[in-house]
């Protein structure tokens, strides 16, 4: 079984234009996704370039997969 989350192919890499989440809100969304699907939070996983991903407007679900992928290395 893959540790990565299954994401529908039509889900854009970038956040919607009207998504005005702060960095802190964005991180909470990532933690919520990780806790719901894998029972962990970003505090349980390796640090990654979260701020860069936020600045690049990466959707939280894709950022969650980035940190999950990093945890496999």
DSSP 8-state code for residue 34: H
Confidence of residue 67 (pLDDT cuts 50, 70, 90): very high
Burial class (CB in 10 A: 0-12, 13-18, 19+), 52: exposed
pLDDT surpassing 70 at residue 1: no
- Mean pLDDT computed over 1-12: 89
The span from the CA of 25 to the CA of 2, in Å, is 27
* Extents of the domains making up the chain: 23-71
Tens digit of each residue's pLDDT (9 = 90 or more) over 31-43: 999 999 999 999 9
Confidence of residue 68 (pLDDT cuts 50, 70, 90): very high
Q: Give SS3 for 8.
A: coil
């Amino acid at each position: 079984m893959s540790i990565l989350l299954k994401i529908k192919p039509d889900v854009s890499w970038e956040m919607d234009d009207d998504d005005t989440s702060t960095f802190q809100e964005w991180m909470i969304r990532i933690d919520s996704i990780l806790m719901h699907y894998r029972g962990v939070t970003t505090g349980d996983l390796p640090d990654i370039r979260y701020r860069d991903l936020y600045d690049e407007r990466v959707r939280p679900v894709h950022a969650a997969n980035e940190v999950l992928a990093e945890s496999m290395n």
